[in-house]
Amino acid sequence: KELYEEADACHYDIYEGAFFERVAAVQTQWFKKHL
């Protein structure tokens, strides 16, 4: 398990822009490691 937080993001902020880029990169790393 891993928890990743974007401290300054509101709920919908992670769906676009810089927040999305960072979150998507973390998710991609997780999938590459565990799948």
Tens digit of pLDDT for each residue in 24-34? 999 999 999 99
What does the buried/exposed string (b/e) look like for 9-22 if buried means 16 or more CB atoms within 10 Å of the residue's CB? beeeebeeeebeee
Q: What is the mean pLDDT of residues 12-16?
A: 95
pTM of the model: 0.79
Q: How many Å apart are CA 3 and CA 19, to the nearest integer?
A: 15
